[in-house]
């Protein structure tokens, strides 16, 4: 894969510092040097110590990544929302984990995406997960299709340039929900469980913003944006205000309305393309099980 820039500064600069400004890490530089890549200035091969002058053309060729040999193949088709040579956006169904774990090495979105890459015959088959979702959360997931794209997207994540919004179905004290509200409660591990979290004074700061979209007698649809990224944050926060997510047995959500997983869906994903810098926005309709509950209350 080849990338080219024109050096526009008036003062000289070594290639290694210029490439660092373009998001090229030391690890990627080493890969270019030792695994078959190339650095060129004005179509001549140079090393990272070469000093650039104004209007020099800098080109790097990144060698193919191959594949993660330990990631198994799952031939289940994936629902592709968007794809180009650098990124892949998919709609993840509920009940599917994002990445493999020690005792669950297959059946995840990573396994499915790897099988897709292999079917397509892509040179780069290493799986780069940029945004994960919990196993029982449905909706939009972003993969980078090579390490350089992943590194540039990670910079956006650190700088909080990503917007990821969710919709959830909640029940309980829904009449007390505001049209637009904030939940600002610290979250800590629940000492009675290896997985569960709880609101606690000694917990880490956590902020959740929400908008009330639809309200019925027993259930409400809320639009949610996280301003921190704590484990189970949405589930813990809405449980703490007595509006647990439907199907969320761990946090005392209702299990009698046809949903047996937390009714949470990532429907809106916005970020800047790692190379064109164009703002991209993707939206995904609610999963069928959540839509069925809404129709039940609207009828």
For position 153, what pLDDT does the model report? 96
Residue 59 tokens read as: 């080109």
Fold of 162-264+290-294: Pseudouridine synthase (3.30.2350)
What ranges do the domains of the chain cover? 1-59, 63-158, 162-264+290-294
Could you tell me which CATH class the domain 1-59 is placed in?
alpha beta
Tell me whether domains 63-158 and 162-264+290-294 share a fold: yes
Choosing from 56, 79, 84, 134, the catalytic residue is 134
Measured in residues, the chain has a length of 299
Tell me if 239 sits within 8 A of 225, measured CB to CB.
Answer: no
- pTM of the full predicted structure? 0.93
- Distance between start and end Cα atoms, the chain: 54
For position 6, what pLDDT does the model report? 97
Could you tell me which CATH class the domain 63-158 is placed in?
alpha beta
74 carries an active-site annotation: no
Residue 190 tokens read as: 């629940």
For position 68, what pLDDT does the model report? 78
Count Cα neighbours of 93 within 13 Å in the Cβ-side half-sphere.
11
Q: Which of 296, 22, 273, 295 is nearest to 153 (CA)?
A: 273
Q: Give Dmax (Cα) for the chain.
A: 71
Could you state, in chain order, the average pLDDT of each consecutive group of 10 residues for the chain (299 residues)? 95 96 90 92 95 97 88 97 98 97 94 97 95 96 96 93 97 96 97 93 97 95 96 98 97 95 98 97 97 92
């Amino acid at each position: 894969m080849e990338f080219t820039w024109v050096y526009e500064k008036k003062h000289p600069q070594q290639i290694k510092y210029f490439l660092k400004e373009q998001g090229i890490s030391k690890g990627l530089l080493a890969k270019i040097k030792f695994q078959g890549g190339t650095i060129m200035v004005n179509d001549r091969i140079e090393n990272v110590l070469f000093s650039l002058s104004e209007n020099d053309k800098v080109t790097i060729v990144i060698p193919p990544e191959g594949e993660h040999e330990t990631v198994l193949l799952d031939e289940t088709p994936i629902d592709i929302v968007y794809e180009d040579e650098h990124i892949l956006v998919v709609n993840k169904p509920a009940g599917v984990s994002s990445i493999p774990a020690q005792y669950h090495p297959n059946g995840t979105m990573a396994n499915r995406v790897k099988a897709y890459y292999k079917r397509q015959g892509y040179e780069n088959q290493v799986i780069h997960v940029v945004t994960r979702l919990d196993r029982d959360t449905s909706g939009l997931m972003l993969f980078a299709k090579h390490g350089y794209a992943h590194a540039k997207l990670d910079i956006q994540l650190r700088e909080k340039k990503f917007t990821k919004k969710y919709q959830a179905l909640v029940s309980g004290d829904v009449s007390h929900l505001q049209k637009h509200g904030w939940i600002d409660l610290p979250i800590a591990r629940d000492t009675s469980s290896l997985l569960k979290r709880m609101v606690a004074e000694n917990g880490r700061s956590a902020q959740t913003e929400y908008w009330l979209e639809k309200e019925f007698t027993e259930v409400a649809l809320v639009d949610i944006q996280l301003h921190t990224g704590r484990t189970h944050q949405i589930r813990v926060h809405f449980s703490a205000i007595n509006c647990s997510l439907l199907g969320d047995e761990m946090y005392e959500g209702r299990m009698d309305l046809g949903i047996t997983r937390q009714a949470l869906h990532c429907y809106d994903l916005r970020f800047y393309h790692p190379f064109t810098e164009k703002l991209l926005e993707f939206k995904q309709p609610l999963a069928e099980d959540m839509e069925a509950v809404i129709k039940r209350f609207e009828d």
